[in-house]
């Protein structure tokens, strides 16, 4: 063996300097426990570079020998030296032959060649030092020197520790691959492989980034080119629209201003008449008030009568349960009387049949007495027939029974002692067996507990470190998230507030184009509805006035969805609707559509809920009915008007819903299709037709807004948008970055919390199990010593109990012989046991049968005596008394029921009187209510007359108000649209006569005050305030300054209303088309400069992309080269070791019974890059089926693991191979192999 000696100094149990050796080609170290075998193994491992943690110690100082009494901090050191001789190649020269002959036998066995000394020292400071041939060196140099002689530290191809064989069989696929990497040397390329892989992936990412960057720049250049062309077209459209709007507003202002000047002198006649009619209305109101007081008194009297009726009804209800209870008690007593009568009849019947039963019993007693005599005769005959066995007379049998009983009594004590001894013997044997079994079981538990304590201690340390790190990371992440959330919350709050304000301003500006005044037709409709409400209480009002959208942004969508039905009048019943239609026809005041709430057909709840569920899942649209707020009373009218129409955010969403194959309307019938309306007013009907744009009428219904603060709102909007852009820029493209960071941190915190929870749970469980296993181990050791002692005592007890039982058995036999000996001499029967066998069975049968007969005879006698003692007279008397008592109870219950029934009838009579009185009071109340209705009707008629006068006055006033409103709105619209009208100088403008305006203002104020005095008319009276009138005069003055000289003469010509409407639509159509074109364009006025700049960027990006591609190719080539070299090393080692394993395992499992041996092999999960996946090690012992390594026995695992170790050694053989108790799990046959 190349290793000749091992020199140790103060290493573990080797005190001082020790020289161990020499070692030969095969050296076996044998000795008892504690003799230092394992320390010798540790010493060799220590010299060859194995870490101290693998040598049953936690630090290097623990390997130093410490004499008894040495202080812990004493400065000690240790040293171990391995003397290795590298054999020469071939034999020596002729001159060396002669000296060899003179060598001793020991020297002849030792190898000759170059000597190496490998030394490892533990200094007094507890640090390590390495030396080769006496020279100090680093661990790396030390490792290289060992590798030169074939010793691989990482692969440990020279060493098999105790337990390594078993651990080799338990290695998982990853651990096997890791071991093969160290053996094959492919692990040396691992760092280079990972660096090359990382470089390859980074190069690929750079290439992709450069490509995407170039792609984006090209796309941006195309967009900028289109924007450049679009900006040029945008300027041309703006010029055309300005010219067209100027002509349009000049035409409108010219004709409106002329109409205002002509219509300001008509109106003052109906004021006195209106005042007289209002006085009549007040008188009628006083009459109605008096009638209501009388009706209230009548209702109070009716209420008191009704309370009395309710009280009497309650009294009847209170008595009713008692009546029912009494009736049920009578029924129960009747049943008990019937049962008592049946009991009396049954007793009388038993009394009549008692004599017959006594005669039957006497006859049966005589029969059994005869049967007993027959049994005695049969037994006597049998005894006479058995003379061969020696028959006994009746007296001898009696005497024999007495002697046998006496013998049994005399031997009872010894027999009990015998039974006790036998039980003691059985108990001792069971106790000894139990102690043996418990000892074996305890040995297994103790070994399991020791192994569990070691594993759980390591696991506890690992979990504590992991938990502390997780908690630190969690706290850091939570602090970071809290800071980020505060920042994001402040940003979101501020931005949301700005968005809300901007949205409100936008809504106001969008709806500012609506008419702020109701036209003449609108005023007429409102007056008509007011009249209907006064005449018919069931009239609720127009649907548009009874509901409103939940948000302002739905105003237009709801108006379009409801269509004409939004102006329909909601009434309670069909009858009310017919009455209203008749009233309108009789009064000739126009037409209206009515929605009776009791007969409207609305969509089915199932279809509505289905669409609502789809909308909640989609989130892009919602039911129109869900965005409308209205009282539950009017909900059916809303559903009738809008049906299952849905409101969509955009037209694209509406198209997707109505036409997509996956939308809610996909595959539905015509009736189940959906009508969709966008927020901007576009409509897609059930038939699939699409309508865009909004009519002026729709805009009027959608809302009305004042224009007084429009300029301030525009300025505020610009300031808010500037502020929003500033905070967006500061936050980094809005809330996107905040959201992404928060989401990442939340995911991280969630993961860390889960990890913390699992770690805590696992740590608690591990601590608990460790405590349990430690306690179990301590208890097992203590119990094991006690069991060994108890087992020895139990075995001694078995021996003593066996001897005691035999002595007791002999004593019983001696006692029985003392009693039976005289009887045998007297009868001449030498063998009483033979007599018992011949006659005993027959006698036992006889005695048994005779006993049965006598027992039954005793039962019959007792039964006859019982029947003789029966007293039927007393029993019958008791039943009669019970029957009479029940009949008395029944009579009392019937009397109680009659009293209750009488009381109930009395209360019911009072209740009938109370109901009659209540009916009279209700009739009186109805008469008073009729008077109230008549008074209310007269009041309504008076109010109707006053309303007619007010309506006439308002109509006259309305014409002038409409003209003034049109003038104001036209000028305001021109300002909003920023149209610059041609204006005259101040000197050229004629002065206005304000007298007409003043008279008009006074009449307007008077009319307004009258309207406010009448609450029912206030909703329909719309007049300008004093400030508004001043605004109108300013508008008229401004209209007078407009220069119409350059206006086309054709436009100045007065046309019919139809022609004017046609011309206005023509203007609006042209302006709308230009607006649509302009609004469809979002020009970038800096597109030209940006286009030139992006062109240069595209050129530089292409150069960057080419450079990145070249870098990626070089990195890929380098990675493939390293990957191929690493895989080649691994696969070479794998193939050689696998081939050697098959041969070695077959040889180790061959026997005379199994000449072919077993089969073992290795398999890779990935042959291209095996080091990235796993490896499987399988073995099939002879004549056994394939099973996993875990399912093999301990010996089979050991043979398989040794085969793999020997195969690995054959690939990278070390000059020596050291094994520590590798045969622990093998039987003798496998040890010899």
Three-state DSSP at 187 gives helix
For residues 87-91, average pLDDT: 57
691 bridge partner residues: 683
pLDDT value, residue 105: 56
Bond into 812 cis (ω within 30): no
Q: How far apart are CA 606 and CA 602, in angstroms?
A: 12
Sign of the dihedral defined by the CA atoms of residues 1175, 1180, 1186, 1191, in that order? negative
pLDDT value, residue 726: 73
DSSP state of 983: B
DSSP state of 992: P
CB 977 within 8 A of CB 301: no
- The backbone torsions φ and ψ at residue 73, rounded to the nearest 5 degrees and listed phi first, read -95, 15
Token look-up 């000449």 returns: 1155
pLDDT value, residue 96: 44
For residues 1198-1204, average pLDDT: 83
- The backbone torsions φ and ψ at residue 97, rounded to the nearest 5 degrees and listed phi first, read -65, -45
pLDDT value, residue 662: 55
CB 287 within 8 A of CB 938: yes
Q: What is the pLDDT of residues 247-289, one digit of tens each?
A: 888 888 888 777 777 766 666 677 777 777 778 888 888 888 8
Which is nearest to 564 in space by CA: 511, 668, 642?
Answer: 642
pLDDT value, residue 678: 92
pLDDT value, residue 423: 80
| Statement: residue 515 has pLDDT above 60 | no
| Statement: residue 1082 has pLDDT above 90 | no
| Statement: residue 1015 has pLDDT above 60 | no
Q: Which H/E stretch holds residue 630?
A: strand 628-630
Measured between its terminal Cα atoms, the distance across the chain in Å is 21
Q: How far apart are CA 177 and CA 174, in angstroms?
A: 5
Describe the crossing of helices 190-262 and 1026-1040 by its angle, rounded to 10 degrees: 80
Token look-up 């998230």 returns: 481
CB 613 within 8 A of CB 605: no
pLDDT value, residue 162: 63
Which is nearest to 122 in space by CA: 72, 152, 84, 81?
Answer: 81
**Strand order from edge to edge, sheet including 594-596:** 539-542, 569-571, 594-596
For residues 307-312, average pLDDT: 77
Q: How far apart are CA 1111 and CA 215, in angstroms?
A: 20
Full-prediction pTM beyond 0.75?
no
Q: How far apart are CA 65 and CA 67, in angstroms?
A: 7
| Token couple for 79 | 């040293």
CB 815 within 8 A of CB 410: yes
Cα dist. 71→75, 78, 127, 543, 1184 in Å? 9, 16, 19, 103, 59
Q: What is the pLDDT of residues 611-663, one digit of tens each?
A: 888 888 888 889 998 999 888 888 899 999 998 899 998 888 888 888 875 55
CB 45 within 8 A of CB 120: no
pLDDT value, residue 647: 93
Strands (E), 464-589: 539-542, 547-549, 569-571
| Statement: residue 806 has pLDDT above 60 | yes
Which of 31-45, 140-154, 187-201, 733-747 comes out lowest in average pLDDT?
733-747
| Statement: residue 740 has pLDDT above 70 | no
pLDDT value, residue 648: 92
Per residue, what are the HEC states of 893-906?
A: HHHHHHHHHHHHHH
Which of 271-285, 305-319, 654-668, 785-799 comes out lowest in average pLDDT?
654-668
pLDDT value, residue 677: 92
In degrees, rounded to 5, the angle at the alpha carbon of residue 1145 between the alpha carbons of residues 1143 and 1151 is 105
Per residue, what are the HEC states of 316-373?
A: HHHHHHHHHHHHHHHHHHHHHHHHHHHHHHHHHHHHHCHHHHHHHHHHHHHHHHHHHH
For residues 841-856, average pLDDT: 74
Which among 124-138, 297-311, 408-422, 639-653 has the top mean pLDDT?
A: 639-653
Instruction: Report the share of the chain in percent with pLDDT over 70.
Output: 81
Which of 40-44, 409-413, 745-749, 1012-1016 comes out lowest in average pLDDT?
1012-1016
pLDDT value, residue 284: 80
For residues 55-84, average pLDDT: 76
pLDDT-derived band at 1197, boundaries 50, 70, 90: confident
| Statement: residue 864 has pLDDT above 60 | yes
The DSSP-derived string for 225-284 is HHHHHHHHHHHHHHHHHHHHHHHHHHHHHHHHHHHHHHSSS---TTHHHHHHHHHHHHHH
pLDDT value, residue 670: 47
Per residue, what are the HEC states of 467-491?
A: HHHHHHHHHHHHHHHHHHHHHHHHH
| Statement: residue 674 has pLDDT above 50 | yes
pLDDT value, residue 596: 93
Longest dimension (CA), the chain: 181
132 bridge partner residues: 118, 135
Cα dist. 148→83, 90, 158, 1207 in Å? 15, 20, 13, 21
Which among 110-119, 617-626, 727-736, 1044-1053 has the top mean pLDDT?
A: 617-626
Could you tell me which residues come within 8 angstroms of residue 768 by beta carbon, excluding any fewer than 6 positions away? Answer: none
CB 558 within 8 A of CB 680: no
In the predicted model, what is the mean pLDDT of the chain? Answer: 77
Q: What is the pLDDT of residues 530-584, one digit of tens each?
A: 888 888 888 999 888 888 888 888 888 888 888 888 889 999 999 899 889 888 8
| Statement: residue 1019 has pLDDT above 50 | no
pLDDT-derived band at 595, boundaries 50, 70, 90: very high
DSSP state of 1192: S
Ramachandran quadrant class, 693 (left: phi over 0; alpha: psi -120 to 50; beta: rest): left
The more confident residue out of 668 and 954 is 954
Q: How far apart are CA 454 and CA 328, in angstroms?
A: 81
CB 548 within 8 A of CB 576: no
């Amino acid at each position: 063996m190349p290793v000749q000696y091992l020199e140790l100094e103060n290493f573990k149990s080797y005190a001082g300097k020790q020289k161990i050796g020499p070692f030969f080609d095969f050296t076996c170290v044998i000795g008892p426990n504690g003799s230092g075998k394992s320390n010798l193994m540790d010493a060799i491992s220590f010299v060859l570079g194995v870490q101290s943690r693998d040598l049953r110690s936690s630090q290097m100082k623990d390997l130093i020998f410490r004499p008894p009494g040495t202080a812990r901090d004493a400065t000690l050191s240790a040293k171990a030296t391995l003397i290795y001789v590298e054999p020469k190649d071939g034999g020596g020269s002729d001159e060396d032959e002669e000296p060899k002959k003179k060598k001793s036998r020991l020297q002849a066995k030792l190898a000759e060649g170059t000597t190496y000394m490998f030394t490892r020292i533990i200094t007094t400071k507890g640090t390590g030092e390495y030396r080769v041939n006496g020279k100090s060196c680093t661990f790396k140099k030390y490792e290289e020197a060992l590798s030169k002689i074939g010793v691989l530290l990482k692969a440990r191809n020279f060493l098999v520790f105790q337990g390594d064989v078993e651990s080799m069989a338990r290695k998982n696929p990853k651990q096997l691959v890791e071991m093969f990497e160290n053996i094959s040397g492919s692990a040396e390329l691992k760092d280079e492989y990972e660096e090359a892989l990382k470089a390859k992936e980074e190069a690929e990412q750079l290439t992709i980034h450069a490509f995407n960057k170039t792609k984006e720049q090209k796309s941006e250049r195309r967009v900028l080119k289109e924007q450049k062309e679009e900006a040029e077209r945008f300027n041309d459209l703006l010029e055309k629209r300005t010219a067209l709007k100027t002509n349009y507003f000049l035409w409108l202002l010219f004709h409106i201003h002329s109409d205002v000047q002509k219509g300001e002198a008509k109106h003052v006649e109906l004021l006195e008449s209106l005042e007289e009619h209002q006085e009549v209305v007040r008188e009628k109101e006083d009459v109605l008030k008096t009638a209501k007081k009388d009706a209230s008194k009548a209702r109070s009297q009716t209420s008191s009568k009704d309370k009395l009726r309710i009280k009497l009804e309650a009294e009847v209800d209170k008595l009713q349960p008692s009546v029912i209870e009494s009736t049920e008690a009578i029924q129960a007593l009747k049943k008990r009387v019937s049962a008592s009568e049946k009991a009396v009849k049954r007793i009388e019947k038993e009394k009549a049949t008692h004599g017959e039963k006594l005669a039957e019993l006497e006859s049966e007693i005589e029969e059994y007495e005869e049967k007993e005599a027959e049994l005695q005769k049969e037994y006597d005959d049998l005894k006479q027939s058995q003379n061969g066995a020696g028959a006994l007379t009746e007296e001898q049998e009696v005497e024999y029974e007495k002697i046998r009983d006496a013998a049994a009594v005399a031997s009872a004590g010894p027999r009990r002692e015998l039974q006790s001894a036998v039980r003691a013997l059985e108990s001792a044997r069971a106790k000894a067996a139990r102690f043996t079994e418990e000892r074996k079981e305890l040995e297994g538990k103790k070994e399991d507990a020791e192994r569990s304590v070691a594993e759980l201690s390591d696991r506890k340390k690992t979990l504590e470190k992991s938990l502390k790190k997780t908690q630190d990371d969690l706290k850091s992440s939570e602090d970071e998230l809290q800071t980020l959330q505060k920042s994001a919350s402040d940003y979101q709050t501020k931005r949301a507030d700005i968005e809300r304000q901007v949205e409100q301003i936008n809504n106001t500006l969008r709806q500012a184009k609506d008419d702020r005044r109701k036209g003449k037709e609108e005023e007429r409709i409102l007056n008509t509805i007011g009249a209907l409400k006064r005449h018919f209480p069931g009239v609720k009002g127009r649907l548009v006035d009874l509901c409103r959208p939940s948000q302002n942004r739905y105003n237009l969508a709801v108006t379009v969805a409801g269509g004409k039905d939004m102006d329909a009048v909601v009434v309670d019943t069909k009858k009310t609707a017919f009455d209203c239609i008749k009233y309108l026809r009789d009064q000739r005041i126009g037409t209206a559509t009515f929605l009776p709430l009791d007969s409207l057909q609305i969509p089915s709840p199932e279809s509505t809920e289905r669409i609502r569920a789809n909308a909640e899942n989609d989130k892009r649209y919602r039911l129109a009915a869900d965005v409308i707020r209205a009282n539950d009373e009017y909900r059916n009218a809303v559903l009738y008007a809008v049906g299952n129409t849905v409101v969509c955010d955009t037209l694209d969403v509406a198209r997707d819903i109505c036409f997509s194959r996956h939308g809610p309307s996909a595959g539905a019938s015509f009736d189940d299709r959906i009508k969709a309306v966008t927020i901007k007013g576009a409509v897609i009907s059930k038939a699939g037709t699409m309508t865009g744009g909004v009519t002026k009428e729709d805009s009027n219904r959608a809302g009305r807004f004042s224009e007084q603060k429009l300029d301030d709102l525009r300025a505020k909007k610009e300031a808010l948008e500037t502020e929003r852009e500033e905070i967006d820029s500061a936050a980094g493209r809005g809330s996107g970055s905040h959201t992404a960071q928060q989401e990442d941190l939340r995911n991280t915190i969630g993961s860390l919390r889960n990890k913390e929870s699992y770690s805590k749970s696992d740590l608690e469980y591990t601590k608990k199990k460790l405590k349990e296993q430690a306690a179990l181990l301590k208890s097992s050791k203590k119990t094991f010593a006690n069991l060994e002692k108890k087992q020895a005592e139990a075995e001694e007890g078995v021996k003593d109990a066996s001897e005691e039982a035999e002595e007791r058995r002999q004593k019983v036999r001696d006692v029985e012989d003392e009693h039976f000996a005289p009887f045998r001499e007297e009868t001449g029967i030498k063998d009483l046991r033979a007599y018992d066998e011949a006659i005993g069975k027959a006698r036992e049968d006889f005695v048994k049968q005779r006993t049965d007969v006598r027992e039954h005879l005793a039962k019959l006698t007792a039964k006859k005596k019982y029947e003789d003692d029966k007293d039927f007279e007393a029993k019958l008397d008791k039943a009669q008394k019970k029957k009479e008592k029940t009949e008395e109870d029944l009579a009392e219950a019937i009397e109680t029921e009659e009293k209750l029934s009488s009381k109930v009838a009395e209360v019911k009579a009072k209740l009938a009187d109370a109901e009659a009185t209540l009916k009279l009071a209700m009739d009186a109340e109805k008469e008073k209510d009729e008077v109230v209705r008549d008074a209310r009707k007269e009041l309504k008629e008076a109010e109707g007359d006053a309303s007619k006068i007010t309506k006439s006055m308002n109509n006259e006033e309305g014409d002038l108000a409409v003209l003034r409103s049109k003038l104001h709105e036209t000028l305001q619209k021109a300002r909003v649209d920023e149209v610059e009208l041609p204006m005259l100088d101040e000197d050229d403008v004629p002065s206005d006569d304000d007298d007409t305006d003043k008279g008009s203002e006074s009449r307007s104020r008077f009319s307004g005050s009258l309207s406010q005095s009448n609450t029912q008319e206030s909703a329909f009276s719309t007049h300008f305030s004093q400030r508004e009138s001043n605004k109108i005069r300013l508008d008229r003055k401004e209209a007078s300054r407009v220069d119409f000289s350059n206006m086309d003469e054709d436009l100045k010509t007065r046309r019919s209303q139809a022609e004017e409407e046609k011309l206005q639509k023509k203007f609006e159509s042209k302006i709308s088309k230009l607006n649509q074109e302009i609004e469809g364009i979002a020009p970038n006025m800096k597109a030209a400069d940006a286009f030139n700049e992006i062109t240069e960027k595209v050129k530089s990006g292409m150069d960057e992309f080419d450079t990145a591609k070249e870098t990626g190719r070089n990195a890929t080539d380098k990675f493939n080269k390293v990957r191929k070299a690493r895989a080649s090393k691994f696969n070479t080692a794998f193939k050689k070791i696998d081939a050697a394993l098959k041969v070695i395992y077959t040889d180790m499992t061959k026997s005379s019974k199994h000449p072919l041996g077993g089969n073992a092999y290795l398999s890779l999960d990935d042959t291209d890059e095996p080091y990235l996946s796993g490896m499987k090690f399988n073995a099939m012992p002879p004549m056994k089926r394939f099973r996993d390594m875990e399912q093999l026995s301990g010996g089979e695992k050991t043979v398989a693991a040794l085969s793999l170790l020997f195969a690995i050694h054959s690939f990278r053989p070390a000059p020596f191979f050291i094994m520590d108790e590798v045969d622990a799990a093998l039987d003798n046959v496998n040890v010899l192999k």
